[in-house]
Amino acid sequence: MKSLIMGDWLQLNLGDFIELKRGYDLPKKSRSSGPVPLISSSGVSDYVPEPKVAGPGVVTGRCGTIGEVFYIEEDFWPLNTTLYVKDFKGNDPRFVSYFLRGIDYFSYSDKAAVPGVNRNHLHQAPIQVPATVEEQRKIASVLSALDDKIELNRRMNETLEAQARALFRDWFVDFGPVKAKMAGDTPYLAPDLWSLFPNRLDDDGMPEGWHPATLDTFATCRNRKANPDEVDDGTAYIGLEHMPRRSIALSEWEGAEKVTSAKSRFRRREILFGKLRPYFHKVGIAPIDGICSTDIVVLAPKKQRLEALTLACVSTDEFVAFTDQSSTGTKMPRTSWKIMRTYPMVKPSDTIADAFQSICEPMIDRILANIEENQTLAQTRDLLLPKLMSDEIRVSEAERQIEEAR
């Protein structure tokens, strides 16, 4: 039964607000590649040819990962480990996605060895929501503006990283400028850069004046151990679970209050490489000082001019494949600095190393600045969300707080 409460908000059960439905099974052996996102309890896990549900949609975990909520603009396939909103009952989908983040799902889970959210119990949850869709949209607009900026920064970081990777490959793997000079092609770099490159390869197929080298020519491994009693609770902790695959932008960490074993210290702008199951391709540049799992190797360039070159190298597919192929252990393969340091590279002239650093350093600076801004944006969103959802503050006050936080 619906009832109006102070401030034009409705008090009702969740099942009167939206209808949730269990997702659909799709075994891995039955999947083929396609454009449609496959949503599991932890988010997009694959892409398949056909959707099951028309977008926009909202999905949350039914079992496995419980508590995360995902908003999907396009058509999608929700897996059977999820619950999705079958019927929004006239409510704003984006608002629903934010509202569902505040539900205590564990209070509505089955008491089994592997807990799962009981949809029928969840439908009985007492809630209060704005009485009008217009107010829902205003709230969603405030919160989504923060999320949209976070996503814009994330995509900018992806673009910057791709540009740096492409430049590294062209200069130091394919020897593009040298080969273009040899072929008499039109210069595709600025004249001051173009003039730095030699115009021939030596007998070993290497640019003239460059020399064979290994990773330890450019970088060193940091071994700074930290015992739990030496670490403040507020110290940032990064584990393998916080490191994204195939992205140098490390944007997640937690406090060290739960740390009970020895860890490794790292400093801002040092490079973190996940040595356990290296094929997961977890490599990134530290945005802050902190501690990390001992299953992460901490690297630092020997000279500042070698920062971008080192980071670009250890984040390539070739380097990750090298560490994977030479790792030890069958079930839990690990690499090590002893292996990593032997990776073959080329040593260019100092002027070319400096030029690469001067181009890539602003990219790294921008990536780190975007990570910092996203942290602030996410904190602001997470502070405002429960207040807006409980009618503690109105949209105008939330907008004022966002403006003050800028």
How many angstroms separate the CA atoms of 300 and 323, rounded? 18
296 and 166 part of one domain: yes
Domain assignment present for 152: no
HSE-CB at 208 with a 13 A cutoff on CA atoms is 11
50 and 164, same domain (yes or no)? no
Confirm whether 147 is domain-assigned.
Answer: no
Q: What is the spatial distance between Cα 180 and Cα 199, in angstroms, rounded to a whole number?
A: 8
Same domain membership, residue 235 and residue 92: no
Examine the domain organization and report whether 116 and 216 are in the same domain.
Answer: no
Closest CA to 67 of 88, 42, 89, 39: 42
Strands (E), 17-143: 19-22, 36-40, 43-48, 57-61, 69-72, 77-78, 82-87, 126-130
> What is the span of the domain harbouring residue 103?
3-129
Would 140 be classed as within a structural domain?
no
The number of folded domains in the chain is: 2
The Cα 340–Cα 322 span in angstroms is 8
Structure tokens at 339: 């292996």
As beta bridge partners, residue 272 has: 284, 298
Q: Are 67 and 61 in contact (CB under 8 A)?
A: yes
Please check whether residue 149 lies inside any domain of the structure.
no
Do both 221 and 108 map to the same domain?
Answer: no
Please tell me whether residues 167 and 246 are part of one structural domain: yes
Considering the domain architecture, whether residues 35 and 113 belong to the same structural domain is answered as yes
Cα 245 to chain center, whole Å?
8
Q: H-helix or E-strand containing 84?
A: strand 82-87
Does 106 share its domain with 165?
A: no
Decide if 55 contacts 72 (C-beta within 8 A): yes
Enter the tokens of residue 110: 């089955």
DSSP 8-state class, residue 108: G
Cβ atoms within 10 A of the Cβ of 107, count?
A: 10
Shared domain check, 104 and 25: yes
299 burial level (CB within 10 Å; 0-12, 13-18, 19+): buried
Assigned domain for 266 exists: yes
Q: Where among 113, 129, 145 does a domain terminate? A: 129
Residue 358 CA: distances (Å) to CA of 21, 276, 351:
53, 33, 10
DSSP category for residue 351: H
Q: Are residues 240 and 197 in the same domain?
A: yes
Q: Say what the pTM is.
A: 0.88
CATH number at residue 357: 3.90.220.20
Q: In what order do the strands lie in the sheet with 283-285?
A: 219-222, 296-301, 271-274, 283-285
Strand-pair partners of 222: 298
In a domain? residue 344: yes
Domain check: are 122 and 203 in the same one?
no
Q: Which residues of the chain have pLDDT under 50?
A: none
The CA distance from 118 to 267, in Å, is 44
How confident is the model at residue 107, as a pLDDT? 83
Q: Is residue 403 part of a domain?
A: no
Q: Does residue 383 sit within a domain?
A: no
The CA distance from 139 to 172, in Å, is 50
- Alpha-carbon distances of 216 from 318, 347, 354, rounded to whole Å: 17, 11, 18
Separation of alpha carbons 342 and 217, rounded Å: 9
Alpha carbon of residue 311 to chain centroid: 17
Looking at the structure, do residues 193 and 85 belong to the same domain, yes or no? no
